[in-house]
Structure 1
Amino acid sequence: MHKTTTAAEQENARESAKKFLYNVLTEILPHPEDITINYSIGPQTTIYKVTCNKKALGQLIGAKGKMITCIRTLLAAKMARTGVRAIIEIPYSPLKAWDDFD
């Protein structure tokens, strides 16, 4: 049976999930000072936008996307208890990334 959560409990859960996500990413990725996590709240979903050092994107995504898939699964499981759907986005522009390698 799913318990109903208040708006304040959901906001606390979102902040807790943000800290959880940050802790996981700082253990996995180099340059933890370059990791930022922002979130936006939609009608039914919280979207966490993760940015990191461009050179660490491969480590964040992992081979065939396995690393980011695992992180997304952990976040979804953590948030499911509160009834909040959460997804992770990695804002990334391939054209801008090529400019960084010049």
Structure 2
Amino acid sequence: MSSLRKQVAVIKVRKMEDGASERFNIARENIQRIIELALKEIATDPDCVGLRYSVGEQTTVYYIKTNQDNFGRVLGSGGRTINCLRHLVTAIAGRHGFRAILQVENEDQFY
């Protein structure tokens, strides 16, 4: 007699509190302001650095737009600067209960 194993899928559902969406939006805007301020201080030409974000189903992605001259400054030595900014974004987003990623737009064109 063969034994049949039941496979059970567990789906976790998190109920959003009232006003959570608004809190997420405020946190996203605050993250954008913080990163923009840091980028403008890092860049040699602050007008050539921009930031936008898109909200996905589970993740908010922040995109840094920069030119060739500021690309090296944004990345930093060994990627230290961009990694620091990524940790900051992740920490703030995690504190508010959502996931966020920081990417450089068209990064491959600079290599």
TM-score, normalization by structure 2: 0.76
Cα distance in 1, alignment partners of residues 50 and 38 from structure 2: 12
Partner of 2:85: 71
Counterpart for residue 59 of structure 1? 73
Which aligned runs of 4 or more in structure 1 are off by greater than 6 angstroms? none
Task: Please tell me the root mean square deviation across aligned C-alpha atoms, in Å.
Answer: 1.6
CA shift for structure 1 position 53: 2.3
Provide the rounded CA distance (Å) in 2 between the counterparts of 1:80 and 1:33.
30
How is 1:1-102 mapped onto 2 (pairs within 5 angstroms)? 6-92=20-106, 93-94=108-109
Query: Residues 47 and 87 of structure 1 are in contact (CA less than 8 Å); yes or no, is this contact kept in structure 2?
Result: yes
* Partners of 1:37 and 1:49 within 8 A in 2: yes
In structure 2, distance between residues paired with 1:31 and 1:9: 33
CA distance in 2, matches of 1:72, 1:64: 14
- In structure 2, stretches of 5+ residues that fail to align are 1-16
Q: Which amino acid aligns with 1:45?
A: T
Which ranges of structure 1 fall in alignment gaps of 5 or more residues?
none
In the alignment, the residues of structure 1 paired with residue 42 and residue 69 of structure 2 have an alpha-carbon distance, to the nearest angstrom, of 13
What TM-score comes out, normalization by structure 1 length? 0.83
CA distance, structure 2, for counterparts of residue 79 and residue 70 of structure 1: 14
Higher normalized helix content (fraction of residues): 1
Is the contact between residue 31 and residue 53 of structure 1 (CA under 8 Å) also seen in structure 2?
no
1:36-93 deviations in whole A, cap 9, x for unaligned? 1110011111000011122110111112211100110011111111111111111124
**Identity across aligned pairs (percent)?**
30
